[in-house]
Amino acid sequence: MARLAQKRREAEVFSISFLDCICCGFGAVLLVFLLTVSSKNSVDKAVVDEVREQVRKAEREMNVTQQDLDRVAQLLAAAQLELQDINTRNVQDQLKLSERRRELLLMLQQTAAMKEALDRLLAQKEAMPTQEEPSIPIPEVDRRQYLTGVKLHGEFVVFVVRASGSMLGDTIDEAASRLEDSDEKKREAPKWQRTVYALQWLLANLEPDTHFQILLFNEETTPILPERGEDWFTISDRQTTAEILKNLNEIVPRGGANLERAFTAIRFLPRLPDSIVLLTDGLPTQSDSLPIEGDVGEEQRVRFFEIATKQLPPRIPVSTILFPLLSGDPAAPGLYWELANATRGALVSPSASWPDT
């Protein structure tokens, strides 16, 4: 029995002490667990508080950011409105610009049309006959009717101008008194100035295509331009015309008058003229065919005239402008009248006061 009891006691695995130890260990574990959970709750609360604080901070920052976003949105809305206004104005400006372009195009077209019209008018003006300032001024225009009887027919006209001493005065005595004057005063002699005016008027009334030559005669016969004695001139040649007028104003009347040489010179021109205009104040005082020494009377001067006219080329009209020489040649008007009739020319005798009255 005792062995059985002993054996039974040996067979018990758990004893009271073991259970106590188990319970103590379990309690210790439970205590550790409780302590761990309590500590963890304390740690989690601090983390939560920190997170909450960060969340609140983020919310505050978010509020600030939202305000900025609102301001930016307002600025953007204002910019969009301004952009729309700019676009509207741009469209209006584009419309105005297009209108201006159309107006400019219209103005350019009108300008081109006006330029074409102006070009046509200028072309018409150039085609119209121009009234240029005459290359030879007409002296004493109001008195020119005195010379309207002179015939200037044909394409070639030769003017034969007496430049002897008698052209210094209206009488022989007056002309003789001026022989001792200076050349300048001789050029200013009224009778000679009337002769120059008459020639200027005749030249100014020539047609532009009429050719002319001027022979000055006293004891000799000299072309107005000595180096161009075989040329023919036109009034359209302004340079030559100016040179002719200059030379004419430098002529000094002097010496006798050999009309025979003047008419002979006409025969030797390269081309015979279609008409002759003689400006003189009386009959010639010298002749190569009938030389006479000393004083020459009226009978001799008539003879000189007859000899001179025989040197004229045939069938050429001769018109004479006969300036007065009182108590000089009473036969002169009649002889020059006969010359005009014989050649189908004319005779004009201006008054002593022409062109002043």
pLDDT at residue 351 greater than cutoff 90:
no
Q: Residue 96: left (phi > 0), alpha (psi -120 to 50), or beta?
A: alpha
Closest CA to 176 of 285, 288, 258: 285
Give the largest Cα separation in the chain, rounded: 231
- CATH superfamily entry for domain 141-348: von Willebrand factor, type A domain (3.40.50.410)
> Which residues sit opposite 160 in a β-bridge?
215, 278
> Which residues sit opposite 217 in a β-bridge?
162, 221
The pLDDT-based confidence of 155 (bands split at 50, 70, 90) is very high
Query: What are the pLDDT digits (tens) for 162-191?
Result: 999 999 988 888 888 998 899 999 999 999
Least confident span in 60-69, 93-102, 259-268, 284-293 = 60-69
Least confident span in 28-32, 75-79, 198-202, 299-303 = 28-32
Q: Measured between alpha carbons, how far apart are the two ends of the chain, in Å? A: 207
Contact 199, 248 (CB under 8 A): yes
Residue 278 has phi, psi (to 5 degrees) of -105, 125
10 Å Cβ neighbour count for 343?
A: 20
Q: Is the pTM of this model over 0.75?
A: no
CA distance 351 to 357: 9
More confident residue, 111 or 126: 111
At 298, list the tokens: 């009226």
Strand pairing report for 221-223 and 211-217: antiparallel
Residue extents of the structural domains in the chain: 18-127, 141-348
**CA atoms within a 13 Å half-sphere pointing along the CA-CB vector of 45:** 6
The pLDDT-based confidence of 39 (bands split at 50, 70, 90) is low
Query: What are the pLDDT digits (tens) for 264-321?
Result: 999 999 999 999 999 999 999 999 998 887 788 889 999 999 999 999 999 999 999 9
Contact 237, 185 (CB under 8 A): no
> 155: which residues sit within 8 A by CB, 6+ positions away?
209, 210, 211, 274
pLDDT on residue 142: 45
In the chain, the percentage of residues whose pLDDT exceeds 90 is 37
Dihedral over Cα of 153, 158, 159, 162: its sign: negative
Among 24-33, 36-45, 300-309, 347-356, the range of highest mean pLDDT: 300-309
More confident residue, 351 or 157: 157
The pLDDT-based confidence of 141 (bands split at 50, 70, 90) is very low
3-state SS, the chain, equals CHHHHHHHHHHCCCCHHHHHHHHHHHHHHHHHHHHHHHHHHHHHHHHHHHHHHHHHHHHHHHHHHHHHHHHHHHHHHHHHHHHHHHHHHHHHHHHHHHHHHHHHHHHHHHHHHHHHHHHHHHHHHHHCCCCCCCCCCCCCHHHHHHHCCCCCCCCEEEEEEECCHHHHCCEHHHHHHCCCCCHHHHHCCHHHHHHHHHHHHHHHCCCCCCEEEEEEECCCEEECCHHHCCCCECCCCHHHHHHHHHHHCCCCCCCCCCHHHHHHHHHCCCCCCCEEEEEECCCCCCCCCCCCCCCCCHHHHHHHHHHHHCCCCCCCCEEEEECCCECCCCCHHHHHHHHHHHHCCCEECCCCCCCCC
